[in-house]
Chains A and B, each alone.
Chain A
Amino acid sequence: MPPPLRSPSVLSSTPCCAYQLCRTTGQSSRPFSTTPRHDQRVTRARRGLFRWLTAQGENFRNPLSESTNYMGAYDNRVGVLRRVLEQREQIVLDSAERGEASPEKELSAEKSKSLPPETTRDRMPFPLNKAFVSQAVLSEGLRDEIWSRVMREGQSVREVSAQLKVEMSRVGAVVRLKEIEKEWKRIGKPLARPYARAVMSMLPKTPFRPENFVSHESINDLPVHASTGQQIFHPTSESRHFTRLDAAKVFNKRLLPADDRIPHPELVIQHRERVVEELTVQERKERAELRAAEAEEKREKIANKQAQAEARVKKVESDRWEFRFTPINADDAGKDGRGQSGVGWRYGVPLYDRSRGQVKIPTSVG
């Protein structure tokens, strides 16, 4: 007995739109197959999808020119940008105040004009999450400026960060990436220019305008320390001058005050010297030099330490690997042979590195 012919479980009696027709009854690679094509069956859900895609969804198909195009910027029922709707309302109201009957002329004029400027509210890609906003990225001009200040003018990352209001780590990353870009240009490796241009046109950008400066981000972010999470009732004498330093000590004995935990403590000191202590330029300069000398000393100490640690490692080059030999002490294993810093195979101490379930993904790449 031949198998029974199967037919699609849902037969659409209503005529569907052209798009659906071509999806459902378009040329199939298997015209005689009786297997119902579940994927392309016209269901209510799919009808809803294509209705939405031809109406509101059409806004998202192509990017807007010189603007972001997120779902949060649209009125989901009407499918029009909220700022455009507001502008239209404003025009109608204005014309009513002036006593004009028909604002059609102005409305049509408004349509031909470019879009009204976007605000933070229009930069929410996810309508339900108001706490996530697509924040601006550095524009090409600003990136070039950062690169030239660091590499051409030789300014320090700290200075550039404070001047241009860009995080220090970001300044470093921009220079690093720019250097690679220049290297690619030099060796003739093709850049993904069309892609970069398209992406930058879709994103909000921080422009570089020397005359009208725009801050990119807050550079003095104080990380919230875990030990400050608790509420403490700390009784103290009324006459005590209780400062941030004391407060930090109360939270945790080793916690530093906010002045020392922010990325740019030098800005605080400079401001205090200028505004509170009202020092002269000469005095401030002297102090700054002193601070710089101290910082230099510290840096040298750290560098020396690193150099010493590196000198202890013996390196042997082969054609494929660089072998590094570090001196070890057999006594590191301790009396019971189970010390943390012990090296090699020790009697009775299991080596788990070949057993099941050990994660072999590296934790850092040098």
Chain B
Amino acid sequence: MSRKRFHGLKRIVPRFRMTWNKYNLYNLSRLMSPNNGGTYFQQKWKAKAATRAYHGEQIREKQWQRMFTSRLNAVVPMDHRYLGENDGSELAAGRGSGLDERGESQSNLKTPYMQMTYAPTERRLDIAIFRSLFASSARQARQFVTHGHVTVNGKKMPYPGYLLNPGDMFQVEPESVLFATGQMKDKEQVKAGREMKRARRVVNTRRAEKRTAKREKALQAIANKKVAEELAGEPTPKASRPIMADETEARKQRKADLQELVKQVKAILENKKAPPPAKRKQDLREINREIKGTMSVLNRKPVSEIETSIDALISRLANLYPSNLFARIDKKANSKSKPASEIAGEAKSSTQEFTAKEKQKMREAVVLSRENPVDESKPYATPWAPRPYMSAFAFIPRYLEVNHNICSAVYLRHPVARPGLAEVPTPFSAEQLQLAFNWYLRRR
């Protein structure tokens, strides 16, 4: 959608855009106040073109003309003490303009009305998302909205042109935000991620194949049984009976293993200190179900088959918890790997000379690494780090209240100007914005 030279370098007066791009930052450093040459029309035209390249360049001109309003919102901060002590008659005292000169006490800051020219665009959902630092450009924010990653008041909102009302809460998927604001993967990481995905796909297809094969086998077995029943003249003695003693022992052992597994899963599920996430809970419950299924066919199926299924279950659990919480079952692996908490505990106990501060630091480092793990499957570089040149663009205007932990924000009110400050983030000077304002004023 974006043009080829979105961040052009050629222009003497460059176009500044709503992005965190480094080209854009360079263009910001080159941005100059326009020299007021040319006719008034030319000045207005240039100012309009330059400011519209930043403010909602994705909005069609007609659309913006419909949004434009000559009424600019402003507020004056009042002091409740002054209002309480005076009823306003002091301003009309004497000859009608107050008794003494109030020049010193009154602040001579002017309200920058002209910086509010593009305030109506700040109401748009896509621009509000960009302002909340959830996307690295207004166009990316727009894409998040159209791709369905954004909800307003808990409902999916696919229109980037939705005008937020005061009190509206918008949420962006944290994964999208992390992708938008995080560093990009380098070539190697992209390759590794791709390989990982490929491997996963292979495993999945294999599993699916196995499942279909099993189903077919079961169907075959049922058919065979039926045929056998039909043929049943003399019931054939079961071949597995003779090695009874050995096998019952094995079955008992397997049953104990399964019970132990159930206990483990239950312990994880009911762990109050570190409850598993919802997705993992589902996985665990599924594993639990499968264990029960295996238990129910414990005495019917051959021992080898049950053993393989138990192994599969253990490996699945181990996959879910790479830190190996199931060391008790997997006795072979017991000596090699230990839970992370145990290792941390050992480190603490073995080094008594650590001060409390150092301990605190270590604890923090452990927490940090747990919150920000290495995961090749993510579309951004892991561990997550902010993308370069982000800090130059990182600000949040006062009309938004943002909670970055949950990637959600509330649009509190429309942006306003107050003495000395305008809330609409704009890189242009008041003169330029006034020219643009006058351009849009002309037919109103």
Q: Which residues of B contact A315 (CB under 8 A)?
A: none
Tell yes or no: A271 within 8 A of B by CB: yes
Distance in angstroms between the alpha carbons of A247 and B86 in the assembled complex: 14
Q: Which residues of B contact A257 (CB under 8 A)?
A: 88
Indicate with 1 or 0, residue by residue over B166-189, a CB within 8 angstroms of chain A CB atoms. Answer: 111100001001100110000000
Q: Which residues of B contact A270 (CB under 8 A)?
A: 84
Tell yes or no: B120 within 8 A of A by CB: no
Residues A49 and B23 in contact, CB atoms below 8 Å apart: yes
Closest residue of B by beta carbon distance from A242: B92
Indicate with 1 or 0, residue by residue over A176-192, a CB within 8 angstroms of chain B CB atoms. Answer: 11101100100111111
Q: Which residues of A contact B276 (CB under 8 A)?
A: 188
Closest residue of A by beta carbon distance from B33: A128
A51 to chain B, nearest CB (A): 10
Q: Which residues of A contact B76 (CB under 8 A)?
A: 221-222, 224
> Contacts A45-B9, A177-B408; is A125 near B425 (CB within 8 Å)?
yes
Distance in angstroms between the alpha carbons of A127 and B29 in the assembled complex: 8
Residues A268 and B83 in contact, CB atoms below 8 Å apart: yes
Residues B80 and A177 in contact, CB atoms below 8 Å apart: no
Tell yes or no: A113 within 8 A of B by CB: no
Give the contacting residue for B371; candidates A135, A169, A194, A244; CB below 8 A: A194
Residues A271 and B112 in contact, CB atoms below 8 Å apart: no
Tell yes or no: B300 within 8 A of A by CB: no
Q: Which residues of B contact A129 (CB under 8 A)?
A: 115, 426-430
Tell yes or no: B162 within 8 A of A by CB: yes
A207 to chain B, nearest CB (A): 16
Closest residue of A by beta carbon distance from B373: A194
Residues B396 and A268 in contact, CB atoms below 8 Å apart: no
Closest residue of A by beta carbon distance from B429: A128
Distance in angstroms between the alpha carbons of A221 and B407 in the assembled complex: 28
B14 to chain A, nearest CB (A): 9
Chain A positions 212-241 with a Cβ under 8 Å from a chain B Cβ: 217-218, 220-224, 226, 241
Tell yes or no: B10 within 8 A of A by CB: yes
Tell yes or no: B401 within 8 A of A by CB: yes
Residues B389 and A195 in contact, CB atoms below 8 Å apart: no
Give the contacting residue for A126; candidates B23, B28, B88, B182; CB below 8 A: B28
> Contacts A129-B426, A132-B115; is A178 near B403 (CB within 8 Å)?
yes
> Contacts A173-B410, A259-B83, A268-B84; is A126 near B155 (CB within 8 Å)?
no
Tell yes or no: A262 within 8 A of B by CB: yes
Give the contacting residue for A224; candidates B75, B395, B404; CB below 8 A: B75
Chain B positions 394-417 with a Cβ under 8 Å from a chain A Cβ: 394-398, 401-410, 412-413, 416-417
Chain A positions 252-271 with a Cβ under 8 Å from a chain B Cβ: 257-259, 262, 264, 267-271
Residues A242 and B403 in contact, CB atoms below 8 Å apart: no
Give the contacting residue for B405; candidates A187, A191, A269; CB below 8 A: A191
Q: Which residues of B contact A365 (CB under 8 A)?
A: 152-153, 155, 157, 162, 168
A246 to chain B, nearest CB (A): 8
Residues A220 and B391 in contact, CB atoms below 8 Å apart: no
A133 to chain B, nearest CB (A): 6
Residues B277 and A190 in contact, CB atoms below 8 Å apart: yes
Residues B85 and A199 in contact, CB atoms below 8 Å apart: no
Give the contacting residue for B391; candidates A53, A63, A169, A181; CB below 8 A: A63
Give the contacting residue for B390; candidates A63, A126, A241, A361; CB below 8 A: A63
B303 to chain A, nearest CB (A): 38
A142 to chain B, nearest CB (A): 12
Chain B positions 357-399 with a Cβ under 8 Å from a chain A Cβ: 368, 371-372, 383-386, 388-398
Residues B29 and A71 in contact, CB atoms below 8 Å apart: yes
Residues B405 and A196 in contact, CB atoms below 8 Å apart: yes
Closest residue of A by beta carbon distance from B171: A180
28 interchain pairs (CB within 8 A)?
Answer: A49-B23, A52-B29, A60-B25, A126-B428, A131-B430, A143-B403, A169-B166, A170-B412, A188-B278, A189-B278, A192-B407, A193-B405, A196-B403, A199-B181, A199-B386, A217-B398, A223-B73, A226-B71, A242-B88, A242-B89, A247-B92, A262-B80, A276-B84, A361-B163, A362-B162, A364-B165, A365-B152, A365-B155
**B positions within 8 Å CB-CB of A:** 9-10, 22-23, 25-26, 28-29, 31-33, 71, 73-81, 83-85, 87-89, 92, 111-112, 115, 133, 152-153, 155, 157, 159, 161-163, 165-169, 174, 177-178, 181-182, 275-278, 280-281, 368, 371-372, 383-386, 388-398, 401-410, 412-413, 416-418, 420-430
18 further contact pairs, Cβ within 8 A, besides A169-B401, A222-B77:
A57-B25, A128-B31, A129-B115, A132-B422, A184-B405, A188-B275, A188-B276, A188-B280, A194-B368, A194-B383, A195-B386, A221-B78, A222-B76, A223-B416, A224-B75, A268-B84, A276-B85, A365-B162
**A positions within 8 Å CB-CB of B:** 43, 45-46, 48-49, 52-53, 56-57, 60-64, 68-71, 76, 123, 125-129, 131-135, 137-138, 143, 167, 169-170, 173-174, 176-178, 180-181, 184, 187-196, 198-200, 202-203, 217-218, 220-224, 226, 241-247, 257-259, 262, 264, 267-272, 275-276, 361-366
